[in-house]
Amino acid sequence: MSLDWFRVAAPQAFFPVAGKLIPWFSALAAAFAATGLYVGFFVAPTDHQQGESYRIIFIHVPAAWMSMFLYLVMAGWAGFGLALNTRLSGMMASALAPTGAMFTFIALWTGALWGKPTWGTWWVWDARLTSELILLFLYLGFIALKGAIPDSQRADRAGAILALVGVVNIPIIYFSVQWWSTLHQGASVSLTRAPSMAATMLAAMILMALAAWMYSIAVSFARLRAIILERERDAAWAQMQRSAA
């Protein structure tokens, strides 16, 4: 079993596996999103305090979750590659970064559009918002740093160090609403308490989070395939792939 894992972990072996999985994850993402949007817009009731503006939650919270989660996975792969010198790990980290940055941007954007009607301001330098903005800069810095180093192995190592240092920001984002007095509200959903929201609202949010998860897997696998082909362009198998398509 362990031997099989190592075989799949080779770029040329993972390439077709990822290709076969992408349509499945895309379909799951679409199905979860369709169900989540239906529940979010046609089943979940109006919020008695915020009216309809709260419906932004169905993308805001899943995007914010994904922005943090993808960073942890990215840093995990980067660190794994740094420690064990596995070729695919650095490519995995590179494949996740743009999607992580996108979800961070969406969390900030939807947060601004939600903040205006509920707090009266698009932006405030509060601990939660500021640390999420730093997360966006970490993603962009990671992408820029790797892009600036032509040698891919050196780029992987430099990127890994940046990604690992940046991990310290994740607990800061997560606990910012407890550690500091913030305009941003505390967590509505946590592992240790019952959620403080209606069951249908929660269901829509979870469905949208699953959709975001499946989407992230699909697009990062697609990006991984492009990165693999690019990096292995001189290998015989990659040239066969290119001429086959």
Out of 17, 52, 144, 196, name the contact with other proteins by CB under 8 A.
Answer: 52
Residue 152, amino acid = S
Selected range binding other proteins among 132-140, 141-149, 159-167, 224-232, rule: CB under 8 A: 224-232
- Using a 10 angstrom Cβ sphere, with 0-12 exposed, 13-18 middle and 19 or more buried, the burial of residue 216 is buried
Query: Min. distance of Cβ 79 from other proteins in angstroms?
Result: 25
Specify the residue, 169 or 241, whose C-beta has the smaller distance to other proteins.
Answer: 241
Q: Does 138 bind other proteins (CB under 8 A)?
A: no
Q: Are 156 and 90 in contact (CB under 8 A)?
A: yes
Query: Min. distance of Cβ 54 from other proteins in angstroms?
Result: 9
Selected range binding other proteins among 3-11, 36-44, 142-150, 179-187, rule: CB under 8 A: 36-44
Query: Min. distance of Cβ 82 from other proteins in angstroms?
Result: 25
Write the Ramachandran bin of 45: left for phi over 0, alpha for psi from -120 to 50, otherwise beta: beta
Shortest CA distance to 66 belongs to which of 9, 4, 139? Answer: 139
Q: Does 146 bind other proteins (CB under 8 A)?
A: no
Q: ∠69-104-134 over CA atoms, to 5°?
A: 95
DSSP letters of 72-116?
A: HHHHHHHHHHHHH--HHHHHHHHHHHHHHHHHHHHHHHHHHHHHH
Query: Min. distance of Cβ 13 from other proteins in angstroms?
Result: 18
Q: Does 222 bind other proteins (CB under 8 A)?
A: yes
Residue 221 has phi, psi (to 5 degrees) of -65, -40
Selected range binding other proteins among 40-48, 82-90, 123-131, 174-182, rule: CB under 8 A: 40-48
Specify the residue, 102 or 206, whose C-beta has the smaller distance to other proteins.
Answer: 102
1 vs 176: CA distance, rounded Å: 42
Neighbouring CB atoms inside 10 A of 232's CB total 18
Query: Min. distance of Cβ 243 from other proteins in angstroms?
Result: 9
Give the CA diameter of the chain.
Answer: 63
Which residues inside 88-127 make contact with other proteins, applying CB under 8 A? Answer: 98-99, 102, 105-106, 109-110, 113-114, 116-117
Shortest CA distance to 128 belongs to which of 67, 69, 185? Answer: 185
SS3 125: coil
Q: Does 34 bind other proteins (CB under 8 A)?
A: no
- The site for other proteins (CB under 8 A) is made up of 41-46, 51-53, 55-56, 59-60, 63, 98-99, 102, 105-106, 109-110, 113-114, 116-117, 215, 219, 222-223, 225-226, 229-230, 233, 241-242, 245
